[in-house]
Amino acid sequence: MTTSTDHWAARAAPAIFVVLWSTGFVGTKYALSGAEPLTYLTLRMILVVGLMAIIALVARPRWPNLAGIGHSVVAGLLVHGVYLAGTAIAIAHSVPAGLSALIPGLQPILTSTLANRWLGERVTAQQWLGLALGLGGALMIMHNRSITGDAGWGWLASGCSLISITLGTLYQKRFCSGIDWRAGNIVQFLAAMALFGVGALLFETREVRWTAEFVLALTWLALVLSIGSIGLLYWLIRRSAATSVASLFYLVPAVTALMAFVLFDERLDAIAIAGMAICAAAVFLVNRTRV
């Protein structure tokens, strides 16, 4: 019975991760109605650290040594710090929520290239084909979109997010897989909180409008995204090859675009829908030999 439950949990985990991760872009758009990007992220991390501290007090995990703490700080700054800051700044600079997921969604190509060299993972010809298809599908979702003016700064921030989440995923795989996720995440979230706090202090007014929309978005992003989806991501990283986990990010722009179409009336045409189908096929190809 346990084996069957574990099997179905492993099969369902990637789909659950994609849906949860995609809500982060939508939730961020709602959260930015109440605060500037780094101010909102500082509040989010304060809430997350408090929740993780409660979990740690109950579970009493084994804490990492000094080297493990150092690795956790680096992973936290990459996976949470620069990645989340880039995403929030992109949306704040007029990049639609559906498209703010796109550039970080190109992560599989960069991850597979680096994993092939840094982690010694072999990427098959079929997987390279899937990665190339996914790139084409993601570009189809992005077609006919402005990348100039204020949105140009947003796209630059999204590019920083792409590099950060890619390096962070690989770094987590190589250096943090043996660290208890509860203790490691507290260190990571504290590092990100410090980054956001300093940034908000230096560059923002730190004004907050405590509307119901802002509070609900902040709560969702803290509980479901920072604790739920990040925990699931790290579980997938420990269990699977980096290339296979990264390929799931091809589906994030498509799912986010669908959510943004329903919630924000963001444009979704036939070419973008075809791109979504191609992205889904790409993920199937990349993961087929590993299922």
Assess if residue 271 is contained within a domain. Answer: yes
Assess if residue 273 is contained within a domain. Answer: yes
Secondary structure (3-state) at 147: coil
The residue ranges of the chain whose pLDDT is under 70 are 1-10, 96-110, 112-113, 115-121, 123, 142-152, 240-244, 246-247, 250, 266-268, 286-291
Which pLDDT score is estimated for 104?
64
Assess if residue 13 is contained within a domain. Answer: no
Measuring CA to CA, which residue among 209, 105, 116 is closest to residue 158?
105
- Rounded Cα distance between 140 and 126, Å, is 21
Spell out the residues 6+ positions from residue 3 whose beta carbon is closer than 8 angstroms to its own: none
Which pLDDT score is estimated for 1?
45
Assess if residue 2 is contained within a domain. Answer: no
Spell out the residues 6+ positions from residue 287 whose beta carbon is closer than 8 angstroms to its own: 14, 244, 247
- Rounded Cα distance between 189 and 11, Å, is 28
Assess if residue 65 is contained within a domain. Answer: yes
Question: The pTM is what?
Answer: 0.80
Which pLDDT score is estimated for 244?
67
Please state the φ and ψ torsions of residue 230, each to the nearest 5 degrees. Answer: -65, -40
Which pLDDT score is estimated for 10?
66
Spell out the residues 6+ positions from residue 239 whose beta carbon is closer than 8 angstroms to its own: 10
Assess if residue 8 is contained within a domain. Answer: no
Which pLDDT score is estimated for 75?
95
Assess if residue 208 is contained within a domain. Answer: yes
What is the number of domains present in the chain? Answer: 1
Range of the structural domain that residue 84 is part of: 22-288
Please state the φ and ψ torsions of residue 205, each to the nearest 5 degrees. Answer: -80, -20
Assess if residue 118 is contained within a domain. Answer: yes
| CA angle (151, 97, 150) in 5-degree steps | 10
Which pLDDT score is estimated for 183?
93
